[in-house]
Amino acid sequence: MGMHGKDLVQFAEQGNVRGLIESAVECDLAEFRWKDGRSLLHLASAAGQLQSCRTLIQIGVDINARERKHLRTPLYESAASGHNDVVQELLQFGAKVNLAKSGEWTPLMVAASKGFPDVVQSLISHRARLDLFNSEGASALHLAARNGNEHVVRLILDHDASCRLVKSVNRVGKTPLFHACYRGNMKAIELLIDSGSDLMHRDSGRSTILHEACSQGQREAVKLLLTKAGEMGLCSELTSAQDAIGDTPLHSAVAGESVQCIRLMLEAPGADQYVKNKRSKTPYELAVSRKSDTIAEILLSGRSCRNLR
């Protein structure tokens, strides 16, 4: 594109409505595409320029046009940037709310992932589907749980009439609760558990949510999971669960070198540090093999304390 193309891009991104209108006399703005295949409406939407968007829609730019590389629409661009006023404008003029980009990411998914509750609400109000999954098998709830925005998690849960999303799994068998535990997103963890997420669910590697939290050193998440499991009479079952390679959550805490999680697990009902995994290693032997001397000492100390009881 020449200088004129750059001028058009600048007009769209900076909200220069007069520049756009005057340019429309000389060239077809509806057919203009920047180097990456984005239309002027894509550019204005990503920049949050509401007046530019209105002008371009009136000129006749395709509201559902998809850019060349990732197939993003103007609605996707505005949702990804958190520009709710533009999102509402595009929806009002007929933007397809569930049109996905490459990877099967919908506008709702990207808004949930980035933690924009107002955008999520607008999309849901215009019938954005909650039961769609991207190429990794993740729903908007999975992505919201990973991000940790409790308002987005709550919004999705409140609008999930089927109550199935909380138990939905991605391509590797993880529920949204796994994502929240991995990141240590406490509010999301509480909301998901209170909404019926299964504490004993196993992913495709036979790991539980406690394995997930321990492996990442998420101390507060581990504490909460142990408390919730205790209230449900599941604590011993959860702490003693072994994954596909025989690791218990205590093994996972050792592998993650999380001293705080190890201490919590040593005190938890049902946690047995003498259990061997499929490599014939106890948590202590795993620590020794990893040359984690401090952790090995803590595990030895834990054995001595239990032997004295």
Separation CA 122–CA 93 (nearest Å): 14
Q: What is the phi/psi pair of residue 197, to 5°?
A: -65, 140
- Angle separating helix axes 150-159 and 117-125, nearest 10 degrees: 20
| CATH 1.25.40.20, domain 1-96, yes or no | yes
pLDDT for 11-53, tens place per residue? 898 988 899 888 887 888 989 999 889 999 999 999 999 999 9
pLDDT for 133-170, tens place per residue? 999 999 999 999 998 889 999 999 999 988 899 999 99
pLDDT the model gives residue 148: 81
Burial class (CB in 10 A: 0-12, 13-18, 19+), 109: buried
For the chain, give the mean pLDDT.
Answer: 93
Contact 272, 249 (CB under 8 A): no
CB atoms within 10 A of CB 31: 10
Separation CA 107–CA 287 (nearest Å): 45
pLDDT for 84-132, tens place per residue? 999 999 999 999 999 999 999 999 999 999 999 999 999 999 999 999 9
Contact 34, 5 (CB under 8 A): yes
Domain coordinates of the chain in residue numbers?
1-96
Q: What is the 3-state secondary structure (H, E, C) of 67-82?
A: CCCCCCCHHHHHHHHC
Kindly state the DSSP code that residue 24 receives in the 8-state scheme.
Answer: H
Asked whether the predicted pLDDT for residue 304 surpasses 80, the reply is: no
The structure's pTM equals 0.91
Token pair belonging to 16: 């220069």
